């Protein structure tokens, strides 16, 4: 009989191994799934785990997709460590993209390159404003931040639709719901000619380093985490929970907004209704698979990015449905949460409860008495 037994100490080894075990479980379930769909599982797995990393070009594409995931995931890690449940990074991402596009649309042929800075800044501000609404409602009216942030995603999507179908629609765009293509000056500088990879990757890596320093080397970062780990201890220490709420939401909103700005003026180059690609929700998985740790978030971001690309490949080459990407991402999160049980528990194989012969011999007695 299999039995879960509490470990005296949470296992360190297991907290590292758990994401790997979860990945393995995801792959195994994936194989079964592909087989049931009548596809060759090996070919399918190849699409998800080999094709995306086959060449230098493939790697740059992973980095392009991983950049927003890592940026948003970092912010969410800080949020979740502070016990602030921001589920609406997608909305903050969209509003960041809207703010950034608002600036980018002003650019003409002779606008200096420095406008990129203003664009990115606008993206950060946009994300912060959207997250700030959540903080304000929570702070002033004790509104649940999970619901408010999630609902604001849909508000942001509506705002985006209004803009691209209405006032911001490209007059020469044959009535397609999209803005003008942004001027060349607004393009986020590319790293290597011929690849879509841009300086967003460097910004994301810098953000990883800064987030690590903030979390583990500053008093304020420490105070935030105490608020998440033990609210009573934070009150005892005198760390303000209101301040933690604002800081966590503004940081994660700002980073999501930055990701939105980078996406709108990077790979996309215009605002369309397809800006929201689910990065804000996928980043929740990134944050957790990455153990809410900046370095872990990088690896989780790369993995999720592989799933995105693999999903597209599986779609075009094998004719598998698009929703497969989401299924894979969801499977990974479920598998991880299940595997995390093993950090605090271990599985024991037990035959029968060990009892001494004397007790076992008479174990029937009280039962008989009761009957």
Partner 1 sequence: MVPPPRLELIGIGKQYPAVKANDGVNLTVAPGQIHAVLGENGAGKSTLMKIIYGAVQPDEGEVRWNGQPVAVRNPHEARALGISMVFQHFSLFDTLSGAENVWLGLEKSLSLAEVTQRIVQVARDYGLEVDPARPVHTLSVGERQRVEIVRALLSGPKLLILDEPTSVLTPQAVERLFVTLRKLSSEGCSILYISHKLDEIRALCHHCTVLRAGKVTGEVDPTRESNASLSRLMIGAEPPQLQHRDAKPGAVVLQVRGLSIAKQDQFGTDLRDIALEVRAGEIVGIAGVSGNGQQELMAALSGEDPRAGAGAIRLFDADVSRASPRARRRLGLHFVPEERLGRGAVPTLSLAANTLLTRTENVGRAGWLRIGAVEALAAALIERFKVKAGGPGAAARSLSGGNLQKFIVGREIDAAPKLLIVSQPTWGVDVGAAAQIRGELLALRDAGCAVLVVSEELDELFEISDRLLVMAQGRISPSTPTAQATIERIGEWMSGLWPQPAQPGAAHA
Tell me which residues touch partner 1 (CB under 8 A).
5-9, 217-220, 222, 226, 229-230, 232-233, 235-238, 240, 353-356, 358-363, 365-367, 369-370
Q: Which is nearer to partner 1, 202 or 363 (CB)?
A: 363
Alpha-carbon gap, residue 254 to 231, rounded angstroms:
25
**Which of 260, 308, 311, 305 is closest to 66 using CA atoms?**
305
Q: Which is nearer to partner 1, 18 or 101 (CB)?
A: 18
Least distance (Å) between residue 47 CB and partner 1: 40
Least distance (Å) between residue 223 CB and partner 1: 8
Least distance (Å) between residue 273 CB and partner 1: 42
Least distance (Å) between residue 142 CB and partner 1: 15
Least distance (Å) between residue 200 CB and partner 1: 28
Alpha-carbon gap, residue 204 to 97, rounded angstroms:
16
* Length of the chain (residues): 371
Least distance (Å) between residue 116 CB and partner 1: 28
Q: Which is nearer to partner 1, 117 or 229 (CB)?
A: 229
Q: Which is nearer to partner 1, 175 or 359 (CB)?
A: 359
Q: Which contiguous run of DSSP H or E holds residue 244?
A: helix 241-263
**Which of 3, 100, 30 is closest to 353 using CA atoms?**
3
Q: What is the DSSP string of 255-278?
A: HHHHHHHHHIIIII-S--TT---S
Cβ count near 235 (within 10 Å): 13
Q: Which is nearer to partner 1, 95 or 226 (CB)?
A: 226
Least distance (Å) between residue 4 CB and partner 1: 12
Cβ count near 37 (within 10 Å): 14
Contact 219, 239 (CB under 8 A): no
Q: Which is nearer to partner 1, 5 or 40 (CB)?
A: 5
Q: Which is nearer to partner 1, 114 or 352 (CB)?
A: 352
Q: What is residue 54's DSSP assignment?
A: S
Q: Which contiguous run of DSSP H or E holds residue 5?
A: strand 2-6
Alpha-carbon gap, residue 211 to 294, rounded angstroms:
6
């Amino acid at each position: 009989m299999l039995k879960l037994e509490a470990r005296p100490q949470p296992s360190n080894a297991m907290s590292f191994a758990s994401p790997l075990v979860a990945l393995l479980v995801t792959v195994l379930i994936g194989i079964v799934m592909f087989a049931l769909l009548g596809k060759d599982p090996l070919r399918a797995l190849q699409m998800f785990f080999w094709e995306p990393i086959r060449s230098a070009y493939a790697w740059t594409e992973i980095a392009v997709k991983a950049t927003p995931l890592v940026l948003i995931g970092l912010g969410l890690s800080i949020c979740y460590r502070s016990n602030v449940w921001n589920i609406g990074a997608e909305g903050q991402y969209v509003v960041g993209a809207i703010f950034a596009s608002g600036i980018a649309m002003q650019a003409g042929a002779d606008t200096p390159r420095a406008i990129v800075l203003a664009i990115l800044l606008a993206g950060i501000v946009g994300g912060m404003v959207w997250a700030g609404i959540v903080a304000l409602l929570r702070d002033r009216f004790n509104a649940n931040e999970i619901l408010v942030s999630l609902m604001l995603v849909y508000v942001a999507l509506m705002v985006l639709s209004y803009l691209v179908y209405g006032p911001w629609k490209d007059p020469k765009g044959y009535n397609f719901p999209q803005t003008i293509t942004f001027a060349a000056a607004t393009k986020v500088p590319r790293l290597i000619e011929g690849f879509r990879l841009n300086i967003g990757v460097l910004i994301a890596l810098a953000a990883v380093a800064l987030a690590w320093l903030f979390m583990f080397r500053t008093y304020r970062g420490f105070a935030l985490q105490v608020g998440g780990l033990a609210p009573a201890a934070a009150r005892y220490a005198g760390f303000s929970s209101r301040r933690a709420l604002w800081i966590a939401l503004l940081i994660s909103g700002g980073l999501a907004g930055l990701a939105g700005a980078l996406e709108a003026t990077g790979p996309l180059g215009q605002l369309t209704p397809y800006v929201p690609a689910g990065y804000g929700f996928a980043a929740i998985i990134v944050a957790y698979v990455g153990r809410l740790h900046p370095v872990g978030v990088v690896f989780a971001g790369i993995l999720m990015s592989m799933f995105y690309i693999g999903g597209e490949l599986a779609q075009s080459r094998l004719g598998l449905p698009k929703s497969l990407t989401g299924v894979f991402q969801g499977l990974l999160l479920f598998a991880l949460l299940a595997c995390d049980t093993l950090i605090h528990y271990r599985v024991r194989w037990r035959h029968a409860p060990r009892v001494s012969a004397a007790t076992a011999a008479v174990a029937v007695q009280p039962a008989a008495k009761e009957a």
